[in-house]
Chains A and B, each alone.
Chain A
Amino acid sequence: MIAAASVCWRRLCFVHAVVQWTAWRRYSKEERITSEQLTRFFASRRGIVLVGVTIGVLAPLLQKLGNPPNMGICVACFERDIAGALGLHRAAIVQYIRPEIIGFVLGSMVAALLFREFKPRVGSAPIVRFVLGMFAMIGALAFLGCPWRALLRLAGGDLNAILGLSGLATGIAIGVQFLKQGYDLGRSYRTYPAVGWIMPAMMISLLLLLIFRPQFNQGGPIFFSQNGPGSLHAPLLISLAVGIIIGFLAQRTRFCTMGAVRDVILMGDTHLISGVGTLLVTAFVTNLLLGQVHVGFAGQPTAHSNHLWNFLGMALAGLAFALAGGCPGRQLFLSGEGDGDAAVFVVGMITGAAFAHNFALAGTPDKVVEGVVQVGGLSTVGMAAVILGLVVCLIIGFSMRETKKETGV
């Protein structure tokens, strides 16, 4: 049945592609497509849905091609793996330089350059963004995934993701309350072009480290996991290409999982969430076709079924993302178009990952021992770290508000 469905799906895809292509040709005959028109398309609902479909198809495919289960793309996990590869933490099973992350930044950079949106800018409370990035990562690793992975986990039948996504929405809702009361990290300012190139340069350096795999000390770094999730990965070039494609499209459409929920709560705007919803549905269908759906709570891959801490971990992440103005994916895309403050958030996340594993704060997955499921979850220190993170984020939310006079209204 699955084979028949697969054939059917491929035919549908083909017909769809032909229809799109014909429409495209007609369009280009009638009038020259200017960059402004493309920008309009990407800013439209069709544009954001296109990104949702792209990620929804490509992420599960990456799993089929070797990435860990329900982890086709996970910005938090992949940045954590990069931290591990560099030896910033020594959790041996999660160390790999993930080309998807490199691709996200470079793809976004290419799009920004092509459409004249590459704008080096810095100065909006970088140290606060660093702290937010750190705690966002600690929260995400308590749940074992960023918002993207939460969607992919749900699309793979992992029902724990429902707790994670509820927590995420709750955290964002708290963030929206702060926004309504005037929370603001202040303005960024245009700066030297070289500043905008730092993040892309860091990504190129990571790519070189990945290709040449130098050993800086006996045994590493650079570390590459021999087993566990870190050892599972799609071929380098495919991962990199997928990253670049998604980075390009996401820069054009401003795709953001946090923004999706925020805009609905803040002003009933469903633009971004239509992309996120499309991602979820497409990933589910793709997983069905690839036989990657296993419904349940217990024993899900790289996941634990400790409901309270799945919820609270993502609530922390959601609040931190909302206060920083973007989900971890969006922060990468922004740093690719020259936003130095988003780059600081990314570095904060990588640092947070190092803390999470060095201090044993990250969630432990469920284990099956002799046929019995042992529920994983958080260590006591991990719980304390999530609570501390929530407190810090609340302090940031309450203490960083501009008065009406200063906002320029």
Chain B
Amino acid sequence: MKMVKQVDARGLSCPQPVILTRNAIQAREFPIEVLVDTATSRENVRRMAEKSGFQVHVEEMGDEFKLTITK
């Protein structure tokens, strides 16, 4: 099974989650899973990834969100 690249941005405040996700995108190993724990981070990461032309799937897991970014 292919290893999924994971970015753990839980507890980090803006713009850290976006920067970490962008770094991961630049490494170009898809899919990327991003874990965040605020709605703000979820929106910011989603907006950045969608603007860069990627697909984003958001999954709510209790208090946290898992965003899966694919090409």
- Contact surface of A with B, Cβ cutoff 8 Å: 39, 43, 115, 117, 119, 121, 123-124, 179-180, 184-185, 187-190, 254, 259, 262-263, 266-267, 269, 271, 325-326, 341, 407-409
Contact = CB atoms under 8 A, between A and B. Distances in A.
B47 A271 contact: yes
Interface of B: 6-16, 18-20, 22-24, 37-40, 43-44, 47-48, 51, 63
B22 A267 contact: yes
Contacts of B38: 117, 119
Contact of B47 (A43, A185, A259, A266): A43
Contacts of A263: 15
Contacts of B20: 407-409
Contacts of A117: 38-39
B11 A189 contact: yes
A119 B40 contact: no
Nearest to B39: A117
A330 to B, nearest CB: 9
Contacts of B9: 408
A341 B7 CA distance: 23
A409 B24 contact: yes
B19 A408 contact: no
B18 A259 contact: no
A179 B23 CA distance: 13
A341 B12 CA distance: 12
A259 B24 CA distance: 22
B37 to A, nearest CB: 7
Contact of B13 (A124, A269, A407): A124
Nearest to B44: A254
A277 B64 CA distance: 33
Contact of B18 (A180, A189, A190, A267): A267
